[in-house]
Structure 1
Amino acid sequence: MGSFIIRVLINGLALWVATWLLHGMDISTSATQSAAANAGLTQGADTAGIILAYLFIGLIFGVVNAFVRPLVRLLSLPVTILTLGLFTIVINAAMLYLTAWLSTFTPVHLTIDSFFWTAILASIIISIISMVAGLIPGAKKR
């Protein structure tokens, strides 16, 4: 259970870095959207709410990666072998896009402007951060 919480924290951190680097990706809540409409800025949201929003999207992303990704990887194994593993980036982008779609049913929304470029670049950023964070003792599954 502790490993899952660490993975959610890593996913939240990776999503924050990806939204910080890519302008086509954003995480917002209903409260920040209404504050943005009233004030014209998103600075009215409190820091704890923003952190919880990233952790919530990180939780959704972790669940999608735990349940959907293994099936998609198995079904796309021939294409992955043909592309020497590069199709894995497309699979990661599709999982990110599925997370964005699932988040439309929650109060916290992940929006991705362009599937191809933004989602591909975000999946590369998230994969690199997850790989580096996986080197931290205790972050690996035992």
Structure 2
Amino acid sequence: MTNFLVKTLANAAALAVAIWLVADITLTGDSTGRKALTLILVALVFGLVNIIVKPVVKLLSFPLFVLTLGLFTLVVNALMLLLTSWLCDKLDLSFHVEGFWTAVVGGLIISVVSWAVNLALPDND
């Protein structure tokens, strides 16, 4: 349970940094509390996408990972961010990623920030 909470907080922090740094990744809301709640819900959706879909995509695209020496990870992260944006649109959450290259930059930022936050937060699992 603690590990799930830590991962969700790390995802929320990473998404917040990506929203702050990249103009075409948007989170709208009428108040700060509403934005914070939406950010937590988006982090949950992003976590579920990474738990359920990402391993399948990585397994099916394993030859591309080997061929590109791991650089295909950027494409997979971008696709997971775009899938999260699409799911948030279907769930009526106000999170949107504008295009593929925006998702690549956002995915890179989210990966780095999530890694740093996971180092800083305790992990009791």
TM-score range, shorter chain: over 0.9
User: Aligned residues: percent identity?
Assistant: 39
Is the CA contact (8 Å cut-off) linking 2:78 and 2:107 kept in structure 1?
A: yes
Q: How far apart, in 1, do the equivalents of 2:92 and 2:83 lie?
A: 16
User: Structure 1, residues 99-141: CA drift from partner, whole Å, max 9, x if none?
Assistant: 00101112313211121x21000000000011111212524x7
Whole-angstrom distance in 2 between the partners of 1:114 and 1:46? 26
Match of 1:23 in 2: 23
Query: Residue in 2 aligned with 1:4?
Result: 4
**4+ aligned runs moved over 3 Å, structure 1:** none
User: Is the CA contact (8 Å cut-off) linking 2:65 and 2:73 kept in structure 1?
Assistant: yes
Name the TM-score, length of structure 1 as normaliser.
Answer: 0.83
**Counterpart amino acid of residue 33 in structure 2:** A
Q: CA RMSD in A?
A: 1.3
1:65-104 to 2 correspondences below 5 Å:
65-104=50-89
Larger radius of gyration: 1
- If asked which structure has higher relative contact order (CA below 8 Å, sep 6+), I would say 2
Cα distance in structure 2, aligned partners of 1:113 and 1:106: 17
Q: Distance in 2 between matches of 1:131 and 1:66?
A: 16
Deviations 1:59-103 (A, max 9, x none): 000000001000100111100000000000100000000000101
Residue ranges of structure 2 left out of the alignment (5+ in a row): none
Equivalent-residue separation in structure 2 for 1:137 and 1:112 (angstroms): 27
